Amino acid sequence: PRRLAINEVIFNNQTDDVMTQIQYLGRSLCGHDGIIHGGLLATIVDEAFARLAFAFLPGHSGFTANLNVDYRSPVPADIMVVLVISIDRVDGRKVFLKARMSSLDGKFTFLESTSLYIAPR
């Protein structure tokens, strides 16, 4: 109850190249009192990017070549967040993605992110 939810809720619609993840972030995940650690947020986004990117990569595997995270607002502890990830474009062994993490009600954008995944040769 004070950490990550064991079973996050994931909606995945690969025909539209979009994945939506709803996740609880508890108080034990704070860097500063009451604020979720930014490194953890980057890890959550990177893992979600991988989940969607692998479906579009040759061999369904790859690695993060680039991850950019723009933090827009601190994420308070003990809330549900919504992470929406989409495919920007696919170019051979490369998949370019983008993401937005917001509050459940959509009033706050916590971060925006882009990533490049590459399939091994």
What are the structural domains of the chain? Answer: 9-118 (3.10.129.10)
Q: Residue 27's closest CA among 82, 66, 79?
A: 79
Over 70: is that where the pLDDT of 7 sits? Answer: no
| Phi-psi domain of 61 (left: phi exceeds 0; alpha: psi -120 through 50; beta: other) | beta
Q: What pTM was computed for the model?
A: 0.90
pLDDT tens digits along 42-60: 999 999 999 999 999 999 9
Which DSSP letter does residue 73 get?
Answer: S
Annotated catalytic residues are: 46
